[in-house]
Structure 1
């Protein structure tokens, strides 16, 4: 089945090693004209380098649950990364404490003042 073979293709399979250029017949068979033109603009490095997976959700390219969570929840927090955030994440304290501090700072924990604000209560009662 040609569709299942195409699903296993890698970028290097689209390169014609013998002629040192993109395999035009394969590109035209797999992609529309616009996509083919865009691919042709890509400069081929020529070195035999293995494909590697890179996680774009972190600055070092490595996947972590923390960066996946931050990426997934960025719409909720919408707080710019500051020196304060970096200090929390790079401190030498337990990971759970880091997450708790971060949640307090990002106002995502259901603390009394936050709940009051959400429930539109007029004043706080004494603790």
Structure 2
């Protein structure tokens, strides 16, 4: 996976987290609360692009919808490829989210599902349940 695509995937994961925060499903969990701010930033960026606006709205309504995640990822990637300053802004946002977690990334299988993630080291903490 190339770096810009990885940033788009991570950005969508943060949007999903923000959508869950606004519906209360993630309320009370410790962590970086910038997902909601990222949604608002994307809403401002996508203004006038009906396809991108629809993709963001669909994901907010159904955060677990894999097709909606993939569509928003495509829209986010397209906007980042057109504007390198916007790409840098999304990259900083993702970096801030990782830094807020103590420098450790967090993979949420319910959000990412079948995406390929490449890490140097993977640590699992807490209970591990497979269903």
TM-score class, shorter-chain normalisation, is: under 0.3
User: Which has the larger Rg?
Assistant: 1
Higher helix share: 2
Q: Report the TM-score, using the length of structure 2 for normalisation.
A: 0.24
**TM-score, normalization by structure 1:** 0.24
